[in-house]
Structure 1
Amino acid sequence: MDDDEASTNRHQPPTAAATTNGHARGGGDDGDGEFWSSFTENLRKVQSVLDRNSELIQQANENHHSKIRDNLVKNVALIQEINGNISKVVSLYSDLNVNLSSVINQRNGEIKEKSNNRKGDDEQDSIHQLQ
């Protein structure tokens, strides 16, 4: 595998078939499929913006090394686009964080609710045993 291929593979988002805690992503209840679909799509958007920035940086570097005045002037616009793209990446990662936090909080609430229900069942069993 060459460096370009390794770099590309390293930045690929997880596939829908990837698993977490033994459960297939994309399946299950509570909107898991919708979450993982959105999560994967956001990662693809991030990668696309990062790839574009890589191209822009390469072009700016070539312009800089050419020392041609017009090329150096073009770098201003390239750098502005790079900065705008960085803001897009920050926003996309922020969205990912909010969505992931929401799912985790929802899951923690479900686990707590199940735990409380089991605790209540255990207390009922204890009362019946005492009678």
Structure 2
Amino acid sequence: MEDNIYSGMGNDARIEGKVLQAFEKNFVQVQGILDQNRLLINEISQNQTSKIPDNLSRNVGLIRELNNNIRRVVDIYADLSNSCAKSMEISDEGESKSDERGGQKRMRSSS
């Protein structure tokens, strides 16, 4: 029966590892997009300040790119949230299954 306890713990660790890898990957991706947005905002601001017609018309495309980047960030966070929720469901299912197999969870006594 102890083998089941340890194998369950291994599954939890693998799930947590995958979740952490997904977080890290997504946060690195988001940071890259946010860095790009900072550059876009600076260029848009400079173009606006210059009041040169060509620069002002270029801002239309830059603002579209900025909006698309913001949408990408929102999508990444939505996907990350869904992945996290799914991993929590899997973890909760694993805990309830181990409870059904003989109460493998142990409660610490307060004494």
Instruction: Kindly indicate whether residue 57 of structure 2 is the aligned counterpart of residue 92 of structure 1.
Output: no
Other-structure match for 1:109: 93
Q: Distance in 2 between matches of 1:109 and 1:31?
A: 12
Q: Can you give the 5+ residue segments of structure 2 that lack an aligned partner in the other structure?
A: 1-11, 105-111
> Percentage identity across aligned positions?
32
Q: Can you give the 5+ residue segments of structure 1 that lack an aligned partner in the other structure?
A: 1-27, 121-131
Deviation by residue 1:77-121 (Cα, 9 ceiling, x = unmatched): 10010011011111111110111001111111112222233459x
Whether the 8 Å contact between 2:15 and 2:87 is mirrored in structure 1 is no
Whether the 8 Å contact between 2:26 and 2:80 is mirrored in structure 1 is yes
Q: Distance in 2 between matches of 1:32 and 1:119?
A: 22
Root-mean-square deviation (Å): 1.8
Whether the 8 Å contact between 2:30 and 2:73 is mirrored in structure 1 is yes
List aligned pairs for 1:47-126, cutoff 5 A: 47-119=31-103
TM-score (norm 2): 0.74
Question: Runs (4+) of structure 1 moved beyond 4 Å?
Answer: none
Using CA pairs under 8 Å that are at least 6 residues apart, name the structure with larger relative contact order, 1 or 2.
2
